[in-house]
Chains A and B, each alone.
Chain A
Amino acid sequence: MTAVEPKSSPPRGASDTAPLLELRNVYAAYGPFRAVFDVSLSIAPGSVVALLGSNGAGKTTIARIASGLLKPTRGQVFVDGVDVTGIRTFRLTRLGVTHAPEGRSVFASLTVEENLTLVFRQEAGRKGVQASLDRAFELFPRLGERRNQNAGSLSGGEQRMLSLARVMVHPPRLLIADELSLGLAPIVVDEVYRTLEKIRDSGTSLLIVEQHVHHALALADQVVVLTKGQVSFDGPADDLGDLAARLMPGVASDGQLVEPAAGVGILTPEPNGSADHPPT
């Protein structure tokens, strides 16, 4: 990783002992029939939290609340002990909390390299751009091969890689990773998780939402399980063991699903991320 000062910094009035991120009794409705109720969770600096549960249990909603993309209808969000409930996403990004893949926009009409350069210039300054690009193309060689192609004509997986490269080269203090493996070839998923591990080692905290439970569990210190919009388990990853089958409908301790879960899901996935959305 290049030696650049992180652009993000704790909010004023921040406390050293407070969790990096805390959700306190948050509620939110999503879609006509779904909601999360009274969810609390906290992420200590440097730790990795896996957020598990069947589709529709509310994982993505929580990830979006935590990253400021969605405002809770009740409850509070704290960063370093400071109440940041309802602040705009870009402010949360400045405090060091970023959502992947939605954290930064992709411009369909710009090339791969132009998209990356835009972000890297902000993160690393003009002089840091080249090193950042090298790092991005080392991480995703495919993007290097397609560097002069418009982002809009990339394949589904290539667009995903572009979204991820922008946050993984200059990781924030807390990366909220929502189903990073979607649409990626298995060999690339392995690379993404190896990189997350390196990012963690360099001090970034992670909140991981992932369908491939075993990937998330391999990295997690702490596990939070959502069932029908509520927290049904919150504890150290080691304790999950046999509790898994009971607490998480359909998921056994080896991360394999064994029985149908009663959850309901979200109708519209955004597999290709945020092509051409204006910056938030």
Chain B
Amino acid sequence: MNQQSPLLDANEITKRFSGITALDSVNLDVAEHEIVGLIGPNGAGKTTFFNCLLGMLRPDDGEVLFNGQDITKLPVYKRARLGFGRTFQRIELFSGLTVREHLLIAERVRRGDGRLWKDFLNLAKTRPEESAAAEATLELLELTDVADAPVESLSLGKGRLVELGRALMTEPKLLLLDEPSSGLDQVETRALTDVLRVVNRQRGTAILLVEHDVEMVQSVAQRLYVLDFGVLIASGLTDEVLADKAVRAAYIGDIAVSS
């Protein structure tokens, strides 16, 4: 880390649920343009941590700084405007709408203009700048050829990309992804991984990634944090963390990890 303050700087985040300490003084930062992985056993606190960052949960202790600004007490929608993007663990697309329509709606939501509810579905009257943003995202995700297809005709892998596209329409500085490869086959996982790299390279979007597919994390993340029972047990460069004995014992077991 250089002297410039990181994009995301979470300090001493603690969260308790009736007797359980789900997060215990967790420190994590993400620099601009960086891809960082957050891994750990089931129930380690990864999703809880995301929820604290996004404002869905209020931490009992600690602070979240974004671009140097303290956002710990900011409501969810204000964080989104600052540049948080996320995808949901369960895919939430609307059947009957096309891929392009999903992106256009996301664009209108971002601007939150009066047109939204009036014109929500009147997508024929699209402003040029809306279309340009949607087309650029379609191209980035290689979804141009299915732009007019209803989402329910897509494969799960493409559906996941539409979700990602929708998050990108809000022009996030930081994307939080919770198990994005879950349910995808290996070909689809590889395609998703490629897209994440392209998004990161072309738009400079920083990514914080929770995944159980170790190979996938290893192939995109520069740094890793490992949570176990709410406590950070390791952090550092990806390959070094994956070789760590405590990490292997808690999370990976005896499978081979290529280096």
Contact = CB atoms under 8 A, between A and B. Distances in A.
A51 B190 CA distance: 22
Given A32-B152, A267-B159, A146 B43 contact: yes
Contacts of A267: 91, 93, 95, 151-152, 154, 156, 159
Contacts of A257: 185-187, 190
B43 A155 contact: yes
A268 to B, nearest CB: 6
A187 interface: yes
Given A185-B41, A186-B251, A187-B41, A264 B187 contact: no
Given A32-B152, A265-B188, A142 B42 contact: yes
Contacts of A158: 42-43
A184 B188 CA distance: 19
A56 interface: yes
Contacts of B156: 55-56, 265-267, 269
Contacts of B154: 264-265, 267
A111 to B, nearest CB: 12
B47 A156 contact: yes
A265 B179 contact: no
Interface in A129-180: 142, 146, 149, 153-158, 160-161, 179
B187 A265 contact: no
Contacts of A156: 42, 47, 89, 179
A265 B41 contact: no
Interface string B148-186: 001111111111000000000000000000010011111
A188 B42 contact: yes
B187 to A, nearest CB: 5
A55 B42 contact: no
A265 B182 CA distance: 13
A213 B190 CA distance: 15
Nearest to A33: B153
Contact of A264 (B47, B90, B153, B182): B153
B185 A190 contact: no
A196 B18 CA distance: 34
A250 interface: yes
Interface string B216-259: 00000000000000000000000000000000001111110000
Contacts of B89: 156, 271-272
A269 B47 contact: no
Chain A interface size, as a band, is: 35 or more
A154 B251 CA distance: 18
A279 interface: no
A115 interface: no
A263 interface: yes
Interface in A203-218: 211, 213
A256 B214 CA distance: 15
Contacts of A271: 89-90, 179, 182-183
Contacts of A55: 155-157, 183-185, 187-188
A55 B157 CA distance: 8
B41 A188 contact: yes
B212 interface: yes
A11 interface: no
Contact of A155 (B47, B95, B251): B47
A264 B186 contact: no
A146 B18 CA distance: 12
Interface in B46-72: 47
Contact of B155 (A250, A265, A268): A265
A260 B42 contact: no
A261 B96 CA distance: 25
A269 B183 contact: yes
A110 B85 CA distance: 33
A56 B41 contact: no
A263 B183 contact: no
A183 B46 CA distance: 12
B155 A56 contact: yes
A269 B89 CA distance: 10
19 contacts: A55-B157, A154-B43, A158-B42, A184-B42, A185-B42, A187-B41, A190-B255, A256-B186, A261-B187, A264-B153, A265-B156, A267-B95, A267-B159, A268-B90, A268-B91, A269-B91, A269-B183, A272-B89, A272-B90
Interface of B: 17, 20, 40-43, 47, 89-91, 93, 95, 150-159, 179, 182-188, 190-191, 212, 214, 250-255
Given A149-B20, A187-B250, 9 more contacts: A161-B42, A182-B182, A186-B253, A265-B159, A266-B156, A267-B152, A267-B154, A269-B156, A271-B89
- 8 A-B pairs with least C-beta separation: A157-B42, A265-B155, A265-B156, A187-B253, A257-B186, A269-B183, A55-B185, A155-B43
